[in-house]
Structure 1
Amino acid sequence: MADPIRLLLADDHAVVRSGLRLLLEAQPDMVIIGEAENGADAIRRTAELRPDVVLMDIAMPGMNGIEATRRIKADSPRTAVLALTMYEDDQYFFEMLRAGAAGYVPKRAAPDELASAIRAVSRGDVFLYPSLAGRLVQDYLLRRDVEEHEPPADDLTPREQEVLTLIAQGLSNGEIGEQLVISAKTVDRHRENIMRKVNLHNRVDLVKYALRKGLIDLEE
């Protein structure tokens, strides 16, 4: 018989952890080896216990589940993180996936769906709740359509790429000018040229464009 799946429960509500323990300990192939009540505690307990799967809530006091997931995956890459949360909006969904979560299940899911998700991520697969998986496909198709029709970064001069990168990093025109040893007025002229060439009209869209083209990454 295969070893049971070793689980760590990370949720700031004791009643939720108790309910999960009752539910999952009834599964013959699962065992609860620890609990955590916040993100920092989840990181510490994961380092101590090396669970196969961490069931991670998102909204917890102190460090949230997104940052905890990012750190757990950096320190314990073999541990799978499964988001189990009440949040079903796109922001949290995509942030958890970018942080390294292998699955995302809403707390309204049926018990057998949660058990299936745990088994899937424990063997290295990805599990996305059906309604959320559809959003991932839609996001991919939208990104693909945008990328197919937008100008490549190579259309920008090297100086414009430098300016765009610094804009995307949140620097003001004055700060960019100081870093590149040019005037703020010259920076503004470069920004206008960039927007015209890539057909974008505000800073948020420029940041997204810089991300898609690899000029900056999410860790910066």
Structure 2
Amino acid sequence: MATATFRRTGPVRIRLALPGLLAMLGLRQLIERIPGAEVASTVSTRDALLRALREQRPDVLVADPGLLAEEVSPGMLVGIRVLHISPHPHARPATRNHACGFVSERSELERVCEALEIITGCTVAHGQRGDCVSCPLSKSLKPAPLPVLTRRESEVFALISRGKGPTAIGQELGLSIKTIETHRENIKRKLGLSCSMDLVDLARRWSRGESIDDAFPARPAPNGVRRPPA
């Protein structure tokens, strides 16, 4: 399949959607150093982002995943290249169909600059996602690894952290509710959790970037291996 490209008639318009003022100012300074790029507008709340997307569509949206909830539908992002940036290294967009990449605010400055330059200089038309497989940014969308959990269990855990229930998770991953429930039970067993409420609480803490290694110190080691006494 031939790569679909587009021609620019002016600067690349970038909208910043971040809750933190310092992060906003820092990214603006980085973007101003990129030839042919300009910050079209900045917003710091979800409501402001919704209004801005309805009024004016940028070429690139650099946003905290927390501001892109269900109210921001994929249809509102058609034609916009989206880079997620968050202070929480575990955070990832729940779906990949409207995101080009992810970078943590805790990343090295060089990594953040590289991500901005890649998404600003991209000439692949949005919607031709098959052409983006080789893009370095696409690899950044993979969920952060979790100890003791399988890849699929990690995906389920990440969706739980975003408040998704079994039905929504099943639709997201193309799996039955029964399969999702089995994954949830396996996750609880591996993490030594006794109820679904503890699972949701732990998942949300993880999504905020908090370490969960010591959250439940009494949880059993994987595969039934006994932990040495403290």
Of 4-13 and 128-137, deviating more is 128-137
CA RMSD of aligned residues (A): 4.1
Q: For this pair of structures, how many residues does the alignment match?
A: 147
- Aligned residue in 1 for 2:63: 56
- Aligned residue in 2 for 1:26: 33
For the Cα contact (< 8 Å) 2:53–2:76, is it kept in 1? no
Distance 1:81-1:132 versus aligned 2 partners, 3 A rule:
closer
Q: Percent identity?
A: 19
Distance between the aligned counterparts of 1:130 and 1:79, measured in 2? 15
Deviation at 1:136, TM superposition (A): 8.5
- Aligned residue in 1 for 2:12: 5
Deviation at 1:22, TM superposition (A): 1.3
In the alignment, which of 91, 99, 105 is matched to residue 101 of structure 1? 99
- Deviation digits for residues 20-53 of structure 1, max 9, x if unmatched? 1111112111011101102221121122121011
Distance between the aligned counterparts of 1:203 and 1:46, measured in 2? 36
Mind listing any 5+ residue stretches in structure 2 that lack a counterpart?
1-6, 127-131, 153-165, 169-175, 186-230
TM-score (norm: length of structure 2) = 0.50
- Aligned residue in 2 for 1:75: 76
Task: Give the secondary-structure state (helix, strand or coil) at the position aligned to 1:27.
Answer: coil
Give the counterpart letter for 1:87 in structure 2. Answer: H
Distance 1:121-1:103 versus aligned 2 partners, 3 A rule:
farther
Mind listing any 5+ residue stretches in structure 1 that lack a counterpart?
144-167, 171-193, 208-220
- Aligned residue in 1 for 2:68: 65
For the Cα contact (< 8 Å) 1:25–1:32, is it kept in 2? yes
Distance 1:128-1:204 versus aligned 2 partners, 3 A rule:
farther
Between structures 1 and 2, the one with greater helix share: 1
In the alignment, which of 14, 25, 34 is matched to residue 21 of structure 2? 14
Task: Give the secondary-structure state (helix, strand or coil) at the position aligned to 2:41.
Answer: strand
Deviation at 1:132, TM superposition (A): 3.6
For the Cα contact (< 8 Å) 1:6–1:30, is it kept in 2? yes
Deviation at 1:15, TM superposition (A): 1.8
In the alignment, which of 42, 46, 57 is matched to residue 49 of structure 2? 42
Deviation at 1:121, TM superposition (A): 5.3
Give the counterpart letter for 1:39 in structure 2. Answer: R
Task: Give the secondary-structure state (helix, strand or coil) at the position aligned to 1:7.
Answer: strand
Distance between the aligned counterparts of 1:75 and 1:23, measured in 2? 26
Distance between the aligned counterparts of 1:54 and 1:39, measured in 2? 13
Give the counterpart letter for 2:70 in structure 1. Answer: E
- Deviation digits for residues 59-95 of structure 1, max 9, x if unmatched? 4xxxx33435x42x32241112210112232xx3251
Distance 1:205-1:38 versus aligned 2 partners, 3 A rule:
same
- Specify which structure has the bigger relative contact order, considering alpha-carbon pairs within 8 angstroms and separated by 6 or more residues: 2
TM-score (norm: length of structure 1) = 0.52
